[in-house]
Structure 1
Amino acid sequence: MVNNETERPRLRGWLAMSLGLVAIVLGGVWTLQGLDVLPYSAMSGQTVWAVVGGGLIMAGLLLIAVGMRRRSSAQKPVR
């Protein structure tokens, strides 16, 4: 099978989606530490980390949405 320019796999959007997932997990940990749900940290009980974590979660959701849009646009047939 010859792999020419029209048959190459489309792997667009995976980096943005992966970074978005990492941002959501890290933001969740920071939020839980800021709310003092995860104790024994320098960030525990400090409200600023709950706010920063929530913002990072929102940024992660945005990155996942961008990655999904790139994937869907890359799957359109090439003519």
Structure 2
Amino acid sequence: MEEQADSGTPMPGWPWLTGGLLALVVGVLWTAQGLDLTHDSVLSDVFAMALIGPAVAAAGLAALVLGVRIRAHAKRTAHKGTST
């Protein structure tokens, strides 16, 4: 069941939050693998992962911030429309 604003429309922003969290976790994991912090991994000590991981994590963090801002804007807009 989707969270809904007072107007009955679905709350935007959740895809950005979900994708951002996933990208952040994957980016941190890839960074750890590239820096050989996970010893029993196929990608351990692969230098490319140490470069790609932080970029993916930063993109995930940006998507999280965007998702939070979208949801906050939608809530403000919904509350303005219902107040008299």
User: For this structure pair, what is the TM-score category when the shorter chain's length is used for normalisation?
Assistant: 0.7 to 0.9
TM-score w.r.t. the length of structure 1 is 0.83
Letter in 1 for 2:64: I
Query: Structure 1 stretches (4+) deviating beyond 3 angstroms?
Result: none
Work out which of the residue numbers 72, 77, 81 in structure 2 matches 1:78: 81
Within a 5 Å distance, the mapping from 1:55-66 to structure 2 comes to 55-66=55-66
Letter in 1 for 2:33: Q
CA RMSD of aligned residues (A): 1.5
TM-score w.r.t. the length of structure 2 is 0.79
User: Is 2:67 the partner of 1:67?
Assistant: yes
Unaligned runs of 5+ in 2: 1-5
Within a 5 Å distance, the mapping from 1:1-79 to structure 2 comes to 7-8=7-8, 10-76=10-76, 77-78=80-81
Q: Distance in 1 between matches of 2:72 and 2:10?
A: 10
Q: Which has the higher helix share?
A: 2
